[in-house]
Chain A
Amino acid sequence: MAKEHKSKKVGTRLGLLALVVAAATIAVWFRQVGQVALPENRLVFILLFLVAAGLGVGAFVARTRWFGGVAAVLAVGVASFFLFTVSISRQEVAPNGIQVGDTMPRFTALDDQGELFDSKTLEGKPVLMKFFRAHW
């Protein structure tokens, strides 16, 4: 009985620690994304999320009190989600994508006022053009 109690104490701590690691990693992640400073090599983040997930699983192996369990589930869930987004984040441009030296294609599109914009109006002016994924 005493042994089980001790094991639960360890498990609970593991669960809480898992959540702390996951939360701290996410905080740093979003801070760096906000500053457009996320490193190309995200290995440190990947390792930290793996550690958080491992600690979370460890909490259940050792058995835990309910709040340690909740923390562990949150940590494993968050860590898995971020590892998933990393795994699908690679971008691939078609080989015939626009390149330096090419001429910009003529195009039309609706602007935010719902009016038709024609790229012809850009003629004679240098342009900075950005394609991005969406407002989220």
Chain B
Amino acid sequence: MVTVSTDLPEEILNGRKHHGLQGHMLSDRDLAVTDAFGLRNLGPHSGPPSGAEALPVPTTLIIDGSGKVLWVDHSENYQRRSGPEYVLAALETHLD
């Protein structure tokens, strides 16, 4: 499990204390990773001023051991995300 956001490492560390998420949580303030994946949101910049010049489109990816992308899900609007059941079903389909 890898997460990427524009939060600073200390903000992510704070968040992890609250939700206890396991896995790698990465800081991408300069959007280098977001841009490497081509996931910068080109719509209106709708977040509060946080120091990041843009935000990624909320996206979930399943990638296999060879690095090949098996599944991609984008939010069409940021107020809606892929639900846990939806992601779990995709995981079962692609990683069995």
Contacts and interface: CB of A to CB of B under 8 A. Distances in A.
B93 interface: no
Main secondary structure of the interface of B (DSSP, over half): mixed
Contact of A109 (B26, B61, B62): B26
A101 B67 CA distance: 10
6 smallest beta-carbon distances between A and B, as pairs: A97-B38, A89-B77, A112-B12, A109-B26, A131-B56, A92-B43
Given A133-B78, A134-B55, A128 B38 contact: no
A79 B82 CA distance: 26
Interface of B: 1-7, 9-16, 24-28, 32-34, 36-44, 46-48, 50, 52, 55-72, 74-84, 87, 91, 95
* Contact-residue bracket for chain A: 35 or more
Contact of B56 (A40, A123, A133): A133
A93 B38 contact: yes
B62 to A, nearest CB: 6
A93 B42 contact: yes
